Amino acid sequence: MISFLKRIAFLSSTILLIYACNDVKNNVTFDASFKGGRLDSVLFLKNNSYRLLINPAFEPVNKSPYFAFSVTSSTPETINVVLDYGKYKHRYIPKLSTDKKNWRSIETKNISMDTMSGNANLKLHISSQKLFVAAQEIEASDDTYLWVDKMIAKHPKIKKTVTGKTVLKKGNYCLVFESDTIQHTIVLVARQHPPEIPGGTFSFKAFFEELFADTDIAKEFRNSFNIYTFPLLNPDGADLGNWRHNANGVDLNRDWMDFTQPETQMVKNVVEEKVSTGKKIQFAIDFHTSYNGPYLLILDSINEIKTKKIIPDWINNIESKSKFKVEARRRSQELPYCYNYFINAFGCEAVTYEEGDEVDRQLIKERAKAYALNLMKTMLTKLKNNEL
């Protein structure tokens, strides 16, 4: 049951607000009413300076203070903005855009940190054209689903299926690519945590696109494996601009033992139903972002002994056949993470794929494509050698 305080926090987070702060010369408007916006209040200070208060929708929460807003003025102006996170500290380099499609990081000369308070000070050049300012590139549910529809247009065998409902009763999707005659299966899960765009969106999309590329290796892989994909597991959190949680204030990547939330229940129900019909999960991958990524979370050494060695062979192939080196971090299989659910429930291999907050976006995509390509090669070799 959601606590009373969590319910109040949830209700307040769903209200769409526009903050207008006026000085004697110009009308300056801060807007957080769009999907993925996060801004709690604005205080006009002096001399074209503003303090923006940014709070998490729910606590406790890790140190991932996400923000997203737009700002306009009636005439061109340079303003100073303080991002105030209360007891939390600034983490993300602000990204700027005028259309929410093309983004650039703020110039170094236009940002400074207060190491005592943890606040960030920004200098923004604004005008009547909206300037979007966000911790990471804004990717609302509509954006992800538009990409999904484009992928389906290219590959009609992918079926977009509503397989569950979110807390807010939105349809939640699984992308099903399968054949009745194929048993071997992989599963992809993306965007449990809303702000984790580098891994949860950019890496995931590039990885998925490589699986469906018009190449001989990808075609052979699709002729040999089913692919079940959850492209945006937490659409409520993404659209509400939550730092980490779903609309119930739950960190989904800590709910893979208790399954208290509709989003994790959906994955469990879908995958277990598929397994009951004879599908065999061989590999699963869960996409995330960390301040100190990239790295993979893999099995502990005891559990790895019991596997078919997909993960170590995959890592060896990545390092020998691409320019990328892999940092692999072992974690206990007793932790309530998504990848551990797959390992413990199905005896398959699985990883958490972590990218870094500020890694070059093109490099992120190149890495994901290389990882996907070498996973396909690794698993096809295992299949040919009867090792699956």
List the CATH code of the domain at 4-134.
2.60.40.3120
Mean predicted confidence (pLDDT) in 244-270? 98
Asked whether the predicted pLDDT for residue 196 surpasses 70, the reply is yes
Q: What is the pLDDT of residue 21?
A: 52
The residue ranges of every structural domain in the chain are: 4-134, 141-384
pLDDT class for 106, splitting at 50, 70, 90? very high
Nearest Cα residue to 315 out of 354, 357, 365, 370: 370
The angle formed by the CA atoms of residues 378, 382 and 383, to the nearest 5 degrees, is 115
Asked whether the predicted pLDDT for residue 15 surpasses 50, the reply is no
Asked whether the predicted pLDDT for residue 25 surpasses 90, the reply is no
Q: Which two tokens stand for residue 163?
A: 């397989």
Asked whether the predicted pLDDT for residue 2 surpasses 50, the reply is no
Mean predicted confidence (pLDDT) in 132-144? 98
| Strands of the 95-97 sheet, one edge to the other | 18-22, 27-31, 68-73, 131-134, 95-97, 104-105
Q: What is the pLDDT of residue 357?
A: 98
Around 28, how many Cα atoms within 13 Å sit in the side-chain half-sphere? 27
pLDDT class for 136, splitting at 50, 70, 90? very high
Q: Which residue has the higher pLDDT, 347 or 24?
A: 347
Mean predicted confidence (pLDDT) in 176-187? 98
Mean predicted confidence (pLDDT) in 342-353? 98
Q: How much is the mean pLDDT over the chain?
A: 93
pLDDT class for 47, splitting at 50, 70, 90? confident
345 alpha-carbon distance from chain centroid: 24
Match domain 141-384 to its CATH number in 3.40.630.10, 1.10.3720.10, 3.30.390.30, 1.10.150.120.
3.40.630.10
φ and ψ of 190, to 5 deg: -135, 145
Mention every residue, 6+ apart, whose C-beta is less than 8 A from residue 385.
none
Mention every residue, 6+ apart, whose C-beta is less than 8 A from residue 329.
295, 296, 297, 298
Asked whether the predicted pLDDT for residue 182 surpasses 70, the reply is yes
Mean predicted confidence (pLDDT) in 221-226? 98
| Cα gap 289→292, rounded to integer Å | 9
